[in-house]
Amino acid sequence: MVKAIRVHQLGGPQVLKWEDVELGEPREGEIRIKNKAIGLNFIDIYFRKGVYTAATMPFTPGMEVVGEVTAVGPGLTGRKVGDIVAYAGDRMGSYAEEQILPADKVVPVPPSVDPIIAASIMLKGMTAQYLERRCFKVEPGHTVLVHAAAGGTGSLLCQWANALGATVIGTVSTKEKAAQAKEDGCHHVIIYTEEDFVSGVNEMTSGKGVEVVYDSVGKNTFEGSLACLKPRGYMVSFGQSSGTPDPVPLSALAPKSLFLTRPSMMQYTSTRDELLETAGEVFANVASGVLRVRVNHKYPLSEASQAHAELENRRATGSIVLIP
């Protein structure tokens, strides 16, 4: 038996229960790991509330973890007991002391990257990589708009876009978050609680708009994000922390020939080669200093409900890590 967080019914943070669970031995193609650090992400909240539907009920949340391999399945090569590996993606269950994972879905963590840093950046960092390197390829001279610029993913998007030579505009809710966004590479910051971000972007770009908007907020920002785009701009909607956006008719894209995409990381890391390349670029940028990871909050795994409340109520900046 191992301890894990379990969700038996959908709802607020209080539905996260600390319980004993059975954990078997790894089968062919699987490994067992002892979790060292677990990343908390907004997608965990989506599943807890039922915005996204879990495959089973009850379920253990969590999509991001770093751990030490303690057992390997029969006939498995390429992984051995003692390896430090990371996982992020399409299988839930990381809110646990130990877990079993498919060996082809984990990546080795370089010795130069601390496990807590790796756990805080795997999902967010790979998200930033596919959004800015492949979904829309940010290049020097571009102007990009990043919503929730002080959040875990937003912070990395701003740093990476700046390093790629783009002009970065970020939106945040407070002066404190604005200061952090500036440190993380934003050339301009809009405090959306004090100023209309569409007007702000229009002023900052002399009415030209931006090449791309990275929007993880959803309902509250979606229409405004479309208005901020220049002709043939890209609307990249990759989250919905404020709720699901209202339906948009195709005709709304026509006046400026806009592109609209709702990408998922799983479709950008569907092969082993894509996964290794994506994670490798993230870890290399951490090691070189291009990406600075802010682990501003650490909680014992047993207190996951409190961590969820902090993230959901926008009291957190940077990344939150759960420690088993």
CATH number for 221: 3.40.50.720
Asked whether residue 276 is domain-assigned, the answer is: no
- Going by their DSSP bridges, the two strands 229-237 and 210-215 should be labelled as parallel
Same domain for 20 and 99: yes
Asked whether residue 286 is domain-assigned, the answer is: no
* Helix (H) and strand (E) counts in the chain: 9, 15
Same domain for 148 and 117: no
Contact 98, 35 (CB under 8 A): yes
Same domain for 11 and 112: yes
Same domain for 208 and 104: no
Same domain for 89 and 202: no
Contact 140, 214 (CB under 8 A): no
Same domain for 250 and 181: yes
For the chain, the domain total comes to: 2
Q: Which domain holds residue 165?
A: 136-262
Same domain for 190 and 148: yes
Question: What CATH number does residue 76 fall under?
Answer: 3.90.180.10
Asked whether residue 268 is domain-assigned, the answer is: no
Asked whether residue 81 is domain-assigned, the answer is: yes
Same domain for 146 and 112: no
- Residue 209 is predicted with a pLDDT of 98
- Residue 143 is predicted with a pLDDT of 98
Asked whether residue 284 is domain-assigned, the answer is: no
- Out of 239, 262, 285, a domain closes at 262
Structure tokens at 236: 């990249």
Contact 146, 185 (CB under 8 A): no
Asked whether residue 241 is domain-assigned, the answer is: yes
Instruction: Collect all residues with Cβ–Cβ distance below 8 Å to 194 and sequence separation of at least 6.
Output: none
Positive or negative CA dihedral for 90, 297, 172, 188? negative
pLDDT more than 90, % of the chain: 86
Same domain for 45 and 9: yes
State which H helix or E strand residue 7 sits in.
strand 2-7
Amino acid at 21: V
Rounded to 5 degrees, what are φ and ψ at 40? -105, 130
3 state SS of 111:
coil
Amino acid at 94: S
Same domain for 103 and 12: yes
- Render each residue's pLDDT in the chain as its tens digit; 324 residues: 899 999 999 999 999 999 999 999 999 999 999 999 999 988 899 999 999 999 999 999 999 999 999 999 998 888 899 999 999 987 899 999 999 999 999 999 999 899 999 999 999 999 999 999 999 999 999 999 999 999 889 999 999 999 999 999 999 999 999 999 999 999 999 999 999 999 999 999 999 999 999 999 989 999 999 999 999 999 999 988 888 899 999 999 999 999 999 999 999 999 999 999 999 999 999 999 999 988 888 999 999 999 999 988 877 776 899 999
How far is C-alpha 252 from the geometric centre of its chain's CA atoms? 28
Asked whether residue 183 is domain-assigned, the answer is: yes
Structure tokens at 46: 């989506």
Same domain for 53 and 84: yes
Instruction: Collect all residues with Cβ–Cβ distance below 8 Å to 243 and sequence separation of at least 6.
Output: 218, 219, 220
- Going by their DSSP bridges, the two strands 30-40 and 98-102 should be labelled as antiparallel
Model confidence pLDDT, tens digit, residues 59-70: 999 999 999 999
Same domain for 223 and 117: no
58 cis-preceded (ω within 30 degrees of 0): yes
Asked whether residue 279 is domain-assigned, the answer is: no
